[in-house]
Amino acid sequence: MAGQRTAARAAACAAVVVLTVTTGVTARADDGFESLPAQRIADRSRDALLDARSVRLRAHGDLGKGQEALTADLALDREGNCAGSVRLGGDKGSVKIVKRGGTVWVKPDADFWKNQVPVGGSTFGAILAGRYLKGAASDARLRPVVDACDLNTFRQLVSDNADTAGGTLTKGAVTTVDGVRTVPVTRRAHGQELTAYVDTGGRHHPVRLTVRGDGADAAVDFSGFDRPVPSATPAAKDTVDVSALLGRTPAPS
């Protein structure tokens, strides 16, 4: 379904912000983190993100160029487990997502069906009646959700795009973000300003990433590093099998 691509756009939004700020050749230092050059701070932040076993990301805003604004709140790990939600701007709808092992559940609301699946969406929504759509993670019709809810997919996007960012990278003054002491590093390129706020302590994870300019205004907040993804799954009475709703012919991959 076309609407399922929303989750993938949410992950892509986060990945674009990360990879365009935190690319470069890895360099390490044992102490004096705040005094390191901007590139080394960015490198260590990227490495810490790539090393994480799990993370919670909250993305909001848009990347400009006509893309829809959205809000996403997803906890995801390397095993492909995921839990959270994605909401489009205005009244365009939202979808809850749960993925556990080889099974995925999605729960679009009425506005989502109406706006993202204009042909037949309202009928699908009526049949579901507030229940989750359940399917196998291998089902091509659910592939966008599955890909978005896998930390390995996110990590690969960041890793594959290393060393490709242009522009200049500069370091700002130490500041506090959500109670965390951070050093901001900013990359300016192609009319945009991308900033990573990097935790000065611990593993030096990114705390917040922002992109501004050229019509873009988006941010991604990171938390919950290495914490388990919530394991609760919808009850059988609250689900409808994807094949029962959409038919048994898989969509093209």
Residues 23-76 pLDDT 10s = 333 333 345 899 999 999 999 999 999 999 999 999 988 866 666 678 899 999
Question: Does residue 207 or residue 139 have the better pLDDT?
Answer: 207
| Mean residue pLDDT across the chain | 80
Q: Express each pLDDT in 58-67 by its tens digit.
A: 998 886 666 6
Question: Does residue 253 or residue 226 have the better pLDDT?
Answer: 226
User: What are the φ and ψ backbone dihedral angles of 159, each rounded to 5 degrees?
Assistant: -65, -45
Count CB neighbours of 21 within 10 A. Answer: 27
The dihedral sign for the CA sequence 94, 13, 153, 197: negative
pLDDT (0 to 100) of residue 142: 82
Residue 86 host element (H or E): strand 82-88
Chain position carrying tokens 């490709």: 164
| Reported confidence tier of residue 149, pLDDT bands at 50, 70, 90 | confident
**Strand, coil or helix: 120:** coil
- CATH for 2-246 (2.40.50.140, 1.10.10.10, 2.50.20.20, 3.20.20.150): 2.50.20.20
pLDDT (0 to 100) of residue 82: 94
pLDDT (0 to 100) of residue 29: 36
* Per-residue DSSP letter, 118: T
Flag whether pLDDT at 161 surpasses 60.
Answer: no
DSSP β-bridge partners for residue 54: 77
pLDDT (0 to 100) of residue 7: 45
Judging by DSSP bridges, how do beta strands 206-213 and 180-189 pair with one another? unpaired
Say what the pTM is: 0.79
**25: region left, alpha or beta (phi > 0 left; psi from -120 to 50 alpha):** beta
pLDDT (0 to 100) of residue 8: 44
Closest CA to 81 of 54, 107, 52, 108: 54
